[in-house]
Amino acid sequence: MRAYTKFKWTKADVVKSVDKARLRGLRIAGAEVRKQTTRSMSNRKPRAKPQFWPLPQMVSRRVRRPSGSFFEQTGRAVAVVYRVPKPDKVTSWKAAHPKGYLRQSIEYDYDRATDSVVVGPATKKAWLNELHELGGSAQFHLVPIAPPTGAPKKYRNNTFVGFTDEADTYTVPFGTRTIKARPFLGPGLKKAMPKIPAMFKNQLRRTV
C-alpha cells in the first residue's frame, strides 16, 4: 500500500511556514503578556489635582519676561506630587507624555535583531519603570517645572519641582532613596505563560 500526501512539501516551504507561524505566535504571546500586565494595574488614574510638598532646598529656574528675555529666580522648592490612589495595586507614574500613565504605556513589538518579542513601557522614564519593577536605590534630583494649573497662591514665590535621576545646571540633589519593588511585568508574564504554548501550536496548525 502506498500513501501520498495532498501537498508536495519541500524543506524551504516547511521552514517558511514554521517561521511565519512562529512570528505570529510571538506577537500573540506579546499581546497576552501586555493584557495580563495591564489587568494587574489599577484602572483608576491618580488624582487629577496634585499635592504640594514644601521642601527645604532652594532651586533656581528660568523665568521669561514679557519682552521675551529670561532671568533666574530662586525660591524654596515645592514638590508637585500625584499620589497613588490604591496602595495594593500598581499604578502609574505621571509624565508629560500622551501615554504618561504607566498602565497606558505598556506596549509590545517584535525585535528582528534578537528574533524575540519585547513587552514593556514605551515612556522615556525607563529608570522609574525599573525601580517600579525591581526596586533598589536611586539618587534623586529636584528639577524645576512649570507651575501647575490651580497651584496655591501662597507658593507663587516658590519653585515647583519634580524628581529626576539626571543632574544638570538647574537640578539640585535631593538624596538617595530606596524604593520597594512593586513588579508588574514579571507577574504579567507568569500569568500568560500557561497560555503561550497553545498559541504557538494553534498558529502552526493554521499555517501548515
Q: Counting beta carbons within 10 angstroms of the beta carbon of residue 180, is it exposed (0 to 12), middle (13 to 18) or buried (19 or more)?
A: exposed
Q: Counting beta carbons within 10 angstroms of the beta carbon of residue 156, is it exposed (0 to 12), middle (13 to 18) or buried (19 or more)?
A: exposed
**Sign, CA torsion 112/117/123/125:** negative
DSSP codes of every residue in 33-55? HHHHHHHTB-SSPPPSSPEEEEE
pLDDT number for residue 18: 78
Q: State whether residue 185 is helix, strand or coil.
A: helix
Q: Render pLDDT for 124-163 as a digit per residue (tens, 0 to 9).
A: 667 777 887 888 888 888 989 888 888 888 998 899 988 8
Any idea what DSSP says for residue 204?
Answer: H
Q: Render pLDDT for 156-189 as a digit per residue (tens, 0 to 9).
A: 889 998 888 788 878 898 888 787 888 888 888 8
Higher pLDDT, 9 or 88: 9
87: pLDDT strictly greater than 50: no
CB neighbourhood size of 25 (10 A): 21
Q: How many residues does the chain have?
A: 208
